[in-house]
Amino acid sequence: MRIGIYPGTFDPITNGHIDIINRSVLLFDKVIVAVTTNPSKSPLFSIDERIEMVLSSTKSLSNVEVDSFDDLLVNYALHKNATAIIRGLRATSDFEFEFQMALVNRKLSNELVTVFLMPNEKYTYLNSTIVKEVASFNADVSCFVPEAANKKLLEKFSAKKTKHL
């Protein structure tokens, strides 16, 4: 069985992430969307909220599993018997960092390959940070994120606005 791991913080999941997941399910027997913590980031949503958003947004895809981890990605992938790590490349600016990580991961385990997928061009400018910033001004971000993420963003930012009143 070909298992691909698509790791990320997904804070929140965007339509660009969904596009990469949809491309991945065509290549792998099973895709594990692995929600992780990142010590260099301060997430808006808890790990449970992020898992819930990913689950809700991928429920129609029968070969997608959603999980979380806080270990070294290579260790997690090997534990899950994965054959590949899936990474999305939006623009050339992503490539250098992702290339370095792929080489480090290959050095740590020759059993895993990194597969780079490009999203539809309409998502190349999109990332979770931009979505959160726009949503923080109560702007409509429903065209950028799945319904579950939009609902959570509305809840989060209306709650923050209420606290400041």
**134 found inside a domain:** no
Question: What is the identity of the amino acid at 81?
Answer: N
Asked about 122 being catalytic, the answer comes back as no
Q: Is residue 59 part of a domain?
A: yes
Q: Identify the pLDDT of residue 163.
A: 53
The side-by-side arrangement of strands in the sheet containing 113-117 is 64-69, 30-36, 3-8, 84-88, 113-117
Domain that holds residue 60: 3-125
Q: How far from chain centre, in Å, is Cα 7?
A: 6
Q: Is 50 a catalytic residue?
A: no
Known catalytic residue at 128: yes
Choosing from 41, 79, 160, 161, the catalytic residue is 41
Q: Which of 90, 106, 151, 156 is catalytic?
A: 90
The whole-number pLDDT of residue 92 equals 77
With respect to residue 25, please indicate whether it lies within any of the assigned structural domains: yes
Assess whether 17 carries a catalytic annotation. Answer: yes
What is this structure's pTM?
A: 0.93
Q: What is the mean pLDDT of each run of 10 residues along the chain (165 residues)?
A: 97 97 98 91 93 97 97 96 96 86 95 95 91 94 97 87 51
**Among the listed residues 125, 128, 124, 127, the one whose alpha carbon sits nearest the alpha carbon of residue 43:** 128
What's the rounded Cα separation, in Å, for the pair 119 and 5?
A: 17
- Helical H segments across 8-146, by residue range: 15-24, 47-58, 73-79, 92-108, 128-136
Q: What is the DSSP letter of 121?
A: G
- Tell me how long the chain is: 165
CA distances 68 to 24, 80, 86, Å, are 18, 12, 15
Domain with residue 116: its CATH number is: 3.40.50.620
Residue 155 is assigned to a structural domain of this protein: no
- Count of the separate structural domains present in the chain: 1
Residue 46 lies in a domain: yes
Q: Does 141 map to a domain?
A: no
The catalytic position among 17, 30, 50, 87 is 17
The reply to whether 41 falls in a domain is: yes
How many Cα atoms occupy the beta-carbon half-sphere of 111 within 13 Å?
14
Instruction: Please state at what angle helix 47-58 crosses helix 15-24, rounded to 10 degrees.
Output: 60
